[in-house]
Each structure stands twice: as C-alpha cells, then as structure tokens.
Chain A
Amino acid sequence: MNHLYTWSGIIVVVCFSVLGDIMMSRSMKQVGDVHALGRRFGLGTVLCRIFSNSTFFLAVGAMALAFFSLLFALSWGDVSLVAPAAASLTFIGNAFAARIFLHEKVDRRRWIAALLVAGGVALLAG
C-alpha cells in the first residue's frame, strides 16, 4: 500500500513539474528574448511584460505545487527512489509535453539526449 502511495506521489510530482516547465516556457516565449528586449526598452519593460503575463503566475503556482507534492512523496517513500524517479520521468515527460503543447521539434538528437540524461540522473541519484 505504501508502494502505491509512493508511486502516486511521484506521478503527481512529475505532472506538476512538467506543467510548470511547459507553462514557464510558453510564458517566456510570449514575453520574447529577455536580453534583446532589455537592451532596447530597459529592464523595467521586461519586468512589466513578465509580471503582466498570467501564464507566468500559473507556472510558478504549478512549480510550487510540484515542490510541496515532492515533500509529501518524500515522506511516503525513500529519497533514493523518489528523487531520481521524479527527475528522470520529468525529463521524459517534458519531451512529450513540449512536442504536443509547445510544438517544439523534438528530433532524434533531443530524444536521445533526454533519454541519456534521464538514465544518467537515475544512476547518479540511485
């Protein structure tokens, strides 16, 4: 039963992490190249554009939920399982979600990179 709780927690962490990353990426694409904007219009304009973007706040909220659900997952399962499993699955989940929701071109090179990094993180933290 505890095993079920642990894996449910890991899945919730992964879902919120992916949601947060996807929304943060979308909001920053809507804002535009921060450095170019900053040089042309100044830092104040960049900050105004960021803080007037509702997707940015949704992304921060999702990231906060991911953090708190990680705390819960850690209280149910071992850190040696929860941390690497959540980090690795987040890499894979982000590749799928970015392809579907952000229409990014996830070519073979990026798939291999995501899988290698996910495997590496699992080995490193395991």
Chain B
Amino acid sequence: MVLSICTETFLLRTENWQLRTGLTFRKYLVLAGVTVFAAAGDSMLSHGMKQAGNISLHHLGNLILALLNPWVAVGILLLLAFFASYMNALSWADLTYVLPATSLGYVLLALVARFALHEQVSPLRWMGIALISGGVGFVAGGPAMTHHGSESPPTGKDTTDPSNQAESKAPLLPTPGKGGTSDSASREHVRALGGGER
C-alpha cells in the first residue's frame, strides 16, 4: 500500500517535472552525453598530446604522427560524439538552456583531477564547482525551449512515438513567429494535473 502510494507520487512528480521542463529521459541522456563526451574528449586529447610532445610550426609532420596516438584518436572520436550530441540538444532546446545545463563538464574534470589523478583542488576551485552546480540547478528546473507564435507547449513526450501521437499534436518542424513562451501554458498543464509550482 505504502509502496504503491510512493510509486504513484514519484510518477506524478516525474510527469510534472517533464511538463515543466519539456524534457524526456532521452533528452536528459543527450545533455549528459554533451557533458561527458566533452570532458572525456578533452582529457584524452590532453593526455595524448602530452605523450606526443611539443609540436612546432617548423615540424608540422609531428602533428600527423600525434594523430596516430591512440589517446589522441579516441579523444577526437569523443569530441565528434560531443559535437553530435550538442547539435542534437540545440535542435530541441534553447542555447541559454543547453550551455549552463551542460557546464557540469567543468565540475566533472575537476573531480577527475582530484580523485583519479590525485591533483590538489584549492578552496577557490571548490567554490567554483559549487557555483557551477548552483547554476545548473537553477536552469534545469525551467522550460528548455522558448516556443514562438502558435506552437503547442512542450508535452514532455516524444511526438513521434505512436503511443503518444494521439495525445500530442505538437508540430514536428519549427514554425516562424514571434513572442510568447510555453512557460505559463506548461504551468497550467501542471496545475491541471494537480501539481504545484516550484
């Protein structure tokens, strides 16, 4: 009995969260991909380039040799994956949402430096980590996308999923127009489902 109430409460809260932000689990995975791929790609590229040694303008051939280093090669592949995830995220979320939401990569790098590479992290840097985490928390609760004109509010459901198509009539492609956001409409949906504002 208690378990079923807890499960229902959790599902309702999850649905309210999805309605408010317009994000599904898959979209959170894409944002996580942007964060992790960028941090991992940068780390591997940095490690590989340190192994490859200094490269001067007079010996550009060394740059080609550096590409053969497995760390550099994997780093480049990860950065390509980052770029694909970043483009994917920008296709359904605002730039001013994606950039702060994916800045946890800086925190990830600092944590890897502290706990995997055993580097010293100064109090100022811990303060920086706290600020970034606060910024991510701030932006994550808001709507991901500004909707212009006659577009429908985010439903938090994939409109191409056959099971959701009957419920959602949101257009697949963006339509030109000005002004207005989904914010108030989303809140109305949340209220209708019995949820409150944050």
How far in angstroms is the closest Cβ of chain A from B20? 12
By DSSP majority rule, is chain B's interface helix, strand, loop, or mixed?
Answer: helix
A123 on the B face (CB < 8 A): yes
- Interface hub of B92, B125, B130, B135 (most chain A Cβ within 10 A): B135
Q: Could you give, for residues 128-163 of chain B, a 1 whenever the CB lies within 8 Å of some chain A CB and a 0 otherwise?
A: 111111111011011000101000000000111000
If A94-B95, A112-B135 touch, whether A32 touches B125 (CB-CB below 8 Å) is no
Binds A, one of B9-17, B62-70, B170-178: B170-178
Chain B's interface size range is 35 or more
**Docked pose: A91 CA to B92 CA in angstroms:** 19
Interface 1/0 per residue, B95-137 and A, CB below 8 Å? 1111110010011001000000000000011011111111110
Determine whether the beta carbon of B99 is less than 8 Å from that of A116: no
Q: Which residues of A contact B77 (CB under 8 A)?
A: none
Minimum CB–CB distance from B36 to chain A (whole Å) comes to 17
Q: Is the CB of B91 within 8 A of A117?
A: no
Q: Are B92's CB and A33's CB within 8 A?
A: yes
Count of interface residues, chain A, beta-carbon cutoff 8 Å: 44
Min CB distance, B53 to chain A, in Å? Answer: 18
Can you give 23 A-B contacts (C-beta < 8 A)? A24-B87, A29-B90, A34-B88, A35-B160, A39-B160, A94-B95, A98-B94, A98-B95, A99-B96, A102-B95, A103-B178, A105-B181, A110-B139, A113-B138, A114-B99, A116-B132, A116-B134, A120-B134, A123-B128, A124-B106, A124-B125, A124-B128, A124-B129
Q: Please give the residue numbers on chain A whose beta carbons come within 8 Å of chain B beta carbons, in ascending order.
A: 21-22, 24-25, 28-37, 39-40, 50, 91, 94-95, 98-99, 102-107, 109-110, 112-117, 119-126
Q: Which residues of B contact A (CB under 8 A)?
A: 26, 86-88, 90-92, 94-100, 103, 106-107, 110, 124-125, 127-136, 138-139, 141-142, 146, 148, 158-160, 172-174, 178-179, 181, 183
Closest 5 pairs between A and B when the two form their complex, measured CB to CB: A123-B128, A120-B131, A116-B135, A124-B128, A120-B132
